[in-house]
Homo-oligomer: A and B are copies of this chain.
Amino acid sequence: MTVLVLTCEQDVTADMVVAELDRGGIPVVRLDPADLPGPVALSGEYVRGTFHGHLSAGGRLVSMNGLRSVWVRRPGVPAARAAEPSDWLTEESAQALYGMLRSTDARWMNHPDAARRARHKPWQLRLAQRSGLPVPATLITTFPQAARDFAVRFPDLVVKPVSGAHPQEPPRAVPTSRVAPGTDFSAVAFGPTLLQRRVAKRADIRLTCVGDRIHAARKAVAPDAHPDEVDVRFASSATPWHAVDAPSSVAAGVRAYLREAGLAYGAFDFAEDAEGMWWFLECNQSGQFGFVQIESGQPIATAVADWLAAPAPSAAPAPAPATGAGAGTAGGR
């Protein structure tokens, strides 16, 4: 049973995990969908109620029915490196590749449907609430008056994008910013705006959960940090990430979140307040773990490799109902 890794050529994080799998003697096929068609080829046959599919990459041929798991790490756009690329060829190649892979019984980290759903910030906030994780008071609105009322109730606010990165090429991260007192909220009418109570944080928490394994890391806010530095991605800090234990309520919440989300992997960001409470900010289903593993020494790549190598269905099921329960044998002839 083979592990399929979908990622681009230059991917140090994937290298780390593939090295772990190699050490364990687990067969791995690594390919970039951008190389389909061409260096990557596929074939699938539906005859008499059965399906047999194959993938070819790097001179290796692997049966789709023999896939143990699929790691959607950082795949290129299908057919992006074709001799004559086009939107049409990309669509055809994407549907062929992912359509067949979706038909297999392989476990996914993460399943494309779960991954796509997990990008919705409003949905994240609600799921975090339902999972028992503390969520700072948040408003998403196009009503200026709703924004004004919210700012009266919660005077110290940050504003952040409703979606993730700006869809330019390459995508640009939009920083979270503090809302100045007396801000005029009229422009809210021109675009949905996410306002959130600012957590006066003493540390940032990055919690990486792989299956059931939790790796929490903490980065203290510098004593002289300006309160306007709310976004750890853009903050200047010499403090390293170091491993900490997650409070049991947070661990339970995080596991509930991933289970309900149908995710096998999630990188959670929390803000730790002065009382030690961890406030949920977001969960990135494709969040990087290389930097935190290097600074904290946590064996996250090993956890990913172990999950991918596990033979049995895990606690993080793919949300595709059709892959598990066949409704009967086919009547083809």
Contact = CB atoms under 8 A, between A and B. Distances in A.
Given A166-B88, A191-B92, A117 B331 contact: no
A101 B146 CA distance: 19
A100 interface: yes
Q: Chain A binding site: helix, strand, loop or mixed by DSSP?
A: mixed
A157 interface: no
A132 B330 CA distance: 4
Interface in A121-173: 121-143, 146, 150, 161-163, 166-168
A130 B140 CA distance: 42
A125 B103 CA distance: 9
Contact of A43 (B102, B121, B140, B332): B140
Contact of A132 (B131, B146, B329): B329
Interface string A193-204: 010000000000
A120 interface: yes
Can you tell how many copies of this chain the complex includes?
A: 2
Given A41-B142, A330-B129, A331-B134, A261 B46 contact: no
Nearest to A36: B142
A113 interface: yes
Contact of A37 (B137, B138, B189, B322): B189
A132 B79 CA distance: 33
B51 A328 contact: no
Given A46-B137, A123-B322, A162-B99, A132 B93 contact: no
Contacts of A102: 117, 120, 122-123
Q: Interface centre among A89, A96, A125, A262, by most B CB within 10 Å?
A: A96
A270 interface: no
Nearest to A131: B327
Contact of A93 (B79, B96, B191): B191
Contact of A321 (B140, B146, B260): B260
A290 to B, nearest CB: 27
A223 interface: no
A226 interface: no
Nearest to A94: B163
Q: Interface centre among A89, A126, A138, by most B CB within 10 Å?
A: A126
Contact of A129 (B43, B51, B161): B51
Given A99-B162, A256-B328, A41 B121 contact: no
Given A127-B322, A321-B262, A44 B96 contact: no
Contact of A190 (B37, B46, B98): B37
Contacts of A146: 43, 45
A47 to B, nearest CB: 5
B96 A140 contact: yes
Nearest to A257: B327
15 contacts: A41-B142, A43-B146, A45-B146, A46-B135, A47-B138, A95-B120, A95-B122, A95-B192, A99-B123, A99-B140, A99-B162, A102-B123, A126-B322, A127-B322, A130-B322
